[in-house]
Structure 1
């Protein structure tokens, strides 16, 4: 399994998934190392044990769906469709909303498991917590045109 520091950019993982021809154990290892927080830390729960069995047997599509269930419990599979040689996968937080109101994450690929994994990685990227302080930061850029001027009216 790769260390998270080996691929610091989530867009790089998504690009790798889009360029792959089929899912391999290395690709699944990268996805788990970079996009999964719960699976490595769960120990031997029933869900993690099931996911490990799916990975060992090479059931990539089922493993991708299990990753979504485990890592993104608020997200649900909204749509899987095959059109013109590509699988289209959409994940959504609110599946009951009409398409035009929903902000679903969509991905496509010739391989079904890669389409699902790509949507998973994109949903994970969107839901990743951002580090923000409670106090807004002041920009430190100073423009040389603006210089402090003494404006006392002593007269």
Structure 2
């Protein structure tokens, strides 16, 4: 499959947020747009398992199996149901404390869609063309932010 472009994953992320439930057609779109290894020749057993789960309508299991096949370095760190939504956190290093880990957090009313939204975001971050040689810095500084110089020479 081709390497993900920024626009494709953004569109897919919006579709995931707006979806009410997973369907076989929607899962086929996710696989065709976000998966680079599916079907995997080297891991035919995992590919066949994903196909069986999709055919049987086991969307949550299919989402987890797809994550395992496509992004084995990413793992589910946390799944929580709170106030009508599933909160899913994916991480590369689950053993690190929350405050040290750079996890991906998504939420949706449907469990499979929450996991798939995290999968698509992890796939976007992991895409070879998405990372430059210089780390990026968040630009979301609030307007009430004022730098303060505090020196303690004492």
Q: Once superposed, which parts of structure 1, at least 4 consecutive aligned residues long, lie more than 3 Å away?
A: 131-134
Are the aligned partners of 1:4 and 1:33 in contact in 2 as well (CA < 8 Å)? no
Structure of higher CA gyration radius = 1
Cα drift, residue 26 of structure 1: 1.4
SS in 1 for 2:129: coil
| Alignment length (residue pairs) | 131
SS in 2 for 1:39: coil
Task: Name the structure 1 match of 2:54.
Answer: 55
Task: Name the structure 2 match of 1:30.
Answer: 29
TM-score (norm 2): 0.78
Structure with greater contact order relative to length (CA < 8 Å, sep ≥ 6): 2
> Given the superposition, is the C-alpha separation of residues 31 and 4 from structure 1 closer, same or farther in structure 2, using an over 3 Å criterion?
farther
Task: Name the structure 1 match of 2:102.
Answer: 103
> Given the superposition, is the C-alpha separation of residues 11 and 52 from structure 1 closer, same or farther in structure 2, using an over 3 Å criterion?
same
* Alignment partners' CA distance in 2, 1:123 and 1:79: 15
Give the gaps of 5 or more residues in structure 2. Answer: 134-154
Cα drift, residue 45 of structure 1: 1.1
| Superposition RMSD in Å | 2.5
Cα drift, residue 9 of structure 1: 2.1
